[in-house]
A and B are shown apart, each in its own frame.
Chain A
Amino acid sequence: DTAVSQTPKYLVTQMGNDKSIKCEQNLGHDTMYWYKQDSKKFLKIMFSYNNKELIINETVPNRFSPKSPDKAHLNLHINSLELGDSAVYFCASSQFQGVTEAFFGQGTRLTVV
């Protein structure tokens, strides 16, 4: 069983479209994250949720909206996609924020054309 799973793995879409990326973890963790990795491999945190509650909301355009229906799921919805949104998006989870390691999903490669 995959500990942190994301779907889809690849996503190609046109500018202006709306898309969602789903993430599920079966580790029983109470904290989940979304990270963005740009073309230079730099990892930037976007959001952090603890028990379905938003904890961290970095400077991210409000076109990005996370949703956590329960503590095992954290989905990312993106409105009005732009070329600059092209990146790899990683979901991660951890048991206690900052105390134990984060477990990462395989990533979703988003390409906006």
Chain B
Amino acid sequence: AQSVTQLGSHVSVSEGALVLLRCNYSSSVPPYLFWYVQYPNQGLQLLLKYTTGATLVKGINGFEAEFKKSETSFHLTKPSAHMSDAAEYFCAVSGTGNQFYFGTGTSLTVIP
């Protein structure tokens, strides 16, 4: 079975500061991992994904994430936060079972 844990339901950073959103997964098979962003009153938009290959994955809007199998982690980072990054972020894992398992989400606030 697969599951995802997102540490920190709320994260606040200053504009221009590093963004770090944490995600740990549990999977009995090699996982496929995803980060989604949800802006207010909108659907989920894919930021980036890891399936196979390079463990450092670059996504849209300057975000990237690193798959670390030994730590079962897939943390999302961005070097410099912008006001427009304020949103809800979801980590997800998929594998056998044919469904996506989402974390509980992390609300990112960017302080001007």
Which A residues lie at the B interface, using CB under 8 A?
A: 4, 31, 33, 40-43, 45, 48, 50, 55-56, 90, 92, 97-107, 109
Contact = CB atoms under 8 A, between A and B. Distances in A.
A109 B40 CA distance: 12
B34 interface: yes
Contact of A102 (B41, B96, B100): B100
Contacts of A50: 98
Nearest to A90: B43
A43 B36 CA distance: 12
Interface of B: 32, 34, 36, 38, 41-46, 49, 51, 88, 90, 94-100, 102, 104-105, 107
A45 B42 contact: no
A90 B104 contact: no
Given A41-B105, A42-B105, A98 B43 contact: no
Contacts of B95: 98
Contact of B42 (A4, A56, A97, A106): A106
B3 to A, nearest CB: 13
B44 A98 contact: no
A101 B34 contact: yes
Given A98-B32, A101-B49, A56 B99 contact: yes
Given A104-B43, A104-B44, A106-B43, A98 B104 contact: no
Contacts of B46: 101, 103
Contacts of A45: 99-100
Contacts of A103: 46
A105 B43 contact: yes
A97 B98 contact: yes
A106 B34 CA distance: 19
* Central interface residue in B38, B46, B98, by most chain A CB within 10 Å: B98
Nearest to A3: B43
Nearest to A47: B99
27 contacts: A33-B99, A41-B38, A41-B88, A41-B107, A42-B102, A43-B90, A43-B102, A43-B105, A45-B99, A48-B99, A50-B98, A97-B99, A98-B32, A98-B95, A98-B96, A98-B98, A99-B51, A100-B49, A101-B49, A102-B44, A104-B36, A104-B43, A104-B45, A105-B43, A106-B43, A107-B42, A107-B43
